[in-house]
Structure 1
Amino acid sequence: MPPKKEKKEQFKGDQASEMIFEYLEQQNRPYSAADVSSNLHNAVTKATATKILKEMHESGQIEGRVSGKQIVYHAIQSPTENSSEEDLKAMDEEIEGIKAETAALKASIKAAHASLAALKSTPSIDALNDSIEVVEAEAAALEETLKGLRAVSETPVADPATRAAAEKEYAFLEKEYARRRKQFREFWGMVCDGYEGDVKELWENAGLEGDMI
C-alpha cells in the first residue's frame, strides 16, 4: 500500500488571525481569502480565512474592497510609512537611469536592424561566383581579341581604315574590361564589409585565383 500522506496542521482562532495579519503586512498587496489560504499552504482553510478576513476588515484592522466577484484584503498603509524626500529622489534617479538604459537599448536595436538590412542586401556567395564567372569569361574573350589586335598591329602593311577600326574596338574593349573589373570590385567590397571571417580564406573558398582585388 502507498504510504499515507502526512496531514498538515491547520490553525484556527487567534493563531490563524495572527498568521493572516502578518502575511498581509509582509506582502503588502491585496489578496482574496482563497489566495491567502493557498499561499499559506492551507495552514488556514479557505473557510477560516474568509471568516477571519471579514472580521478583521469589519474591526478596521485591515482594508478590503470588491474586485470582480470576490473581496480582496490588504494591510492598512500607515502615514509614517510614506516615502521620504530622499526616497523619492532616489526613485526619480532610478527612473531616469531606466529611461537612459531603454534609449540605449532602442539605439542598439535600430543599429542591429540596419546591420541586418545591409547583410540582406549583400550579394550571396553564389551570386558573386556567377558574377566572377561572367567577368572571367569576358576577360578571356578580351584577351583573345587583344591578341588578334596585336597581330594586326604587327602586320607590316595595314589598311589605315582597318587599323583605325581595330584601335577603336581595342579602346572600347579596354574600357569595358575596366568597367567590369570595377563592378567586380564593388561586389567583392560589399561581401567583405558584411563578412567577419578571414577575407583571404573566403577568396580561396570561392574558387578565385590570383591576388585579391
Structure 2
Amino acid sequence: MSGFQSLAAGKAMSKGRAEAAAGAPGLLLKYLQEQNRPYSAQDVFGNLQREHGLGKAAVVKALEQLAQEGKIKEKMYGKQKIYFADQDQFDMVSDADLQNLDAKIVALTAQVQSLQQSCRHMEAELKELTSALTTPEMQKEIQELKKECAGYTERLKNIQAATNHVTPEEKEQVYRERQKYCKEWRKRKRMATELCDAILEGYPKSKKQFFVSGTLPLPCTPWIFAQGGHIHLSPSPQEEVGIETDEDYNVKLPDP
C-alpha cells in the first residue's frame, strides 16, 4: 500500500468514527431504553463497539450529554458512574402484571431446561451414530461374518459325520487318569522340594547356585536329589546337581 493509499484509508476510518460519534447519543438512548437496566460506560462500550464501531471516548461523551439533557439518569456506584433510562417514561406496572411476568419466566425457564435436555440427548445420539460403523462398513462386516459362519458350519458337519467319536465313558476315564497323574505330580514335587530345603540348610551358597552347578556335600554313598519334580540317585557325591525345575520351563500344575 502506498503512502497515498494509507492516507486515504486513514481519512476514511476517521470519517467513519466521526459519523459514529455523531450518532452515538441517539444510539445509546435507544439502547438504554430497550434494555432498561443500569450500565457503566465500559459496559456500553463493550456491548456496542464491535457492531457500531464506537470508541470509548465517544461513548463516555454521549452518555454524559444524555444525562445533562435529562434523557437518562446518572448515579455514582462506588467509584464509577452508572447510567440507565429514565423510569418516568415507562408505564406503571401493577402487581398482577409482575405476577404474569414471573409466571412467564417460570414457564420459559422450564421450556429452556426441556430443550437443553433434548439437546443433550440428541448430542449423545449423534456421538453414538458418528462412532458407529457406516453402511458400507456394516455390509462388509456382514459378508465377513457370513463367510466365517459358513466355515464353522462346514466344520460342524464334518465333526458330526465322523465315526470316531469319543464315548462318555472314555472321556470320563481320561479325566480320572489326568486327576491321578496330577495328584502324583504334586506329591513328587512336594517331596523334591522338601529334600532340596533340607540340603540347603547346610549349603553355603544360594539355592540358584546349588541348582545350577552345586556339588553334594557328603563324602560317601550315592546321594538322593530332586530333578524336575522327580527323585534321582547321584552315583558320586561330587557330581554336579544341575536341577531343572518346573519354573525354569514356565510349567504350572493344572488346577485340581
TM-score if structure 2 supplies the norm length? 0.35
Return the index of the structure with the highest Cα Rg: 2
TM-score if structure 1 supplies the norm length? 0.40
Structure of greater relative contact order (alpha carbons < 8 Å, 6+ residues apart) = 1
